[in-house]
């Protein structure tokens, strides 16, 4: 059984400050998603640390309800 994209987005938005999240269901099966996560909270952190923040936001669901998530993280551009 897969995980709903809206729940993935909600968990990330709830657990990472000032975040913008876009979730795409890659296969239409509710099991394989891509996430673009953009937050100033990622500033100064390595890509690994940024991804760890996203995994933590998912509260242990990665590998359980959520089978596959391709994560792309970024920091908002400053003007």
Q: Is residue 21 part of a domain?
A: yes
pLDDT band, residue 68 (cuts 50/70/90):
confident
pLDDT at 31 over 90: no
Domain that holds residue 55: 5-74
pLDDT band, residue 79 (cuts 50/70/90):
low
- Prediction pTM value: 0.89
CATH number for the domain harbouring residue 65:
3.30.300.90
Report how many domains make up the chain. 1
Residues 30-40: what's their mean pLDDT? 93
Sheet holding 20-25, edge to edge: 20-25, 32-38, 68-74
The better pLDDT of the pair 3, 51 is held by 51
Q: Is residue 79 part of a domain?
A: no
């Amino acid at each position: 059984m897969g995980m709903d994209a809206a729940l993935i987005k909600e968990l990330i938005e709830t657990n990472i400050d000032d975040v913008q999240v876009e979730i795409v269901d890659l296969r239409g099966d509710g099991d394989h998603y891509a996430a673009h996560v953009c937050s100033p909270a990622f500033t100064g952190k390595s890509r690994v640390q940024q991804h760890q923040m996203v995994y933590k936001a998912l509260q242990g669901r990665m590998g359980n309800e959520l089978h596959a998530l391709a994560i792309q993280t970024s920091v908002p551009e400053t003007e």
